[in-house]
Chains A and B, each alone.
Chain A
């Protein structure tokens, strides 16, 4: 059974770069069947799709975040990562990684809270 686990700093200073990693267990990021996604949710608010990556390295990003976002994959570590530059308080949220299967995210990590504050 595939499991995902987010990791990274819980506190990031304004204007700096947010970096998170998602470790996949029980499955492979090299699988040709799936994309691997990042989604976030500010406290008390709705879900926002950030972007996704395929094992080939091909990516798609939310246009509203595209200029600041990079998603990468490390097949040797069975991980994929998120980088979000020039963060502000508006980027404070719970960040989820997920597996996309047939267009829908069918496996989610537990989420990690990232706070942007000085």
Chain B
């Protein structure tokens, strides 16, 4: 089955850049998207089709996808960005798959 692997945690200082990776076999050949989930809340889509932002999502969130790795970048990280982040992709054999999730801590 297809798997997407993320680092369990990422720490970042306010105002700095956080990068979260999502690794999967030939992931660059698929569309990746990213979700933000805060405690007790439903996930929110923040990146779709590798690098597109839905309306209302701040520009500090950006995405890329190449090779075996998709990356979510948070520029100028704010305290409000502290949350869990999940990548997602579609694979022909497994259908939709979520990544393992990354907890972002803003120190």
A contact residues vs B (CB 8 Å cutoff): 37, 39, 46-49, 51-52, 60-64, 96, 102-106, 108-111
CB–CB A46/B95 < 8 A: no
Contact A104 B101 (CB under 8 A): no
**Could you tell me the distance between the alpha carbons of A110 and B45 in the complex, rounded to whole angstroms?**
14
Main SS at interface, chain B: strand
A-B contact count (CB 8 A): 60
B21-43: which residues lie under 8 A (CB-CB) from chain A? Answer: 31, 33, 35, 37, 42-43
Q: Is the CB of B43 within 8 A of A46?
A: no
User: When the two chains form their complex, are residues B45 and A105 in contact, meaning their CB atoms are under 8 A apart?
Assistant: yes
Contacts A104-B48, A106-B48, A109-B42 given; indicate if A47 touches B95 (C-beta within 8 A): no
Interface residues of B in 1-15 (CB under 8 A from A): 1
Of B33, B42, B45, B86, which is in contact with the most chain A CB atoms at under 10 Å from its CB?
Answer: B42
Distance in angstroms from B102 CB to nearest chain A CB is: 10
B43–A47 contact, CB under 8 A? Answer: yes
Which residues of B pack against A, CB within 8 Å?
Answer: 1, 31, 33, 35, 37, 42-45, 48-49, 54, 86, 88, 90, 93-101
Nearest residue, chain B, Cβ from A94 = B42
Once the chains bind, are B95 and A61 in contact (CB under 8 Å)? yes
Residues of A within 8 A of B96 (CB): 37, 49, 52, 60, 62
Is B43 within 8 A of A105, CB to CB? yes
Supposing A46-B101, A63-B95 touch, asked if A108 and B31 sit within 8 A by C-beta, the answer is no
Q: Which B residues are CB-close (under 8 A) to A47?
A: 35, 37, 43, 86, 88, 98, 101
In the complex, how many angstroms separate the beta carbon of B5 from the nearest chain A beta carbon? 11
Residues of A within 8 A of B101 (CB): 46-47
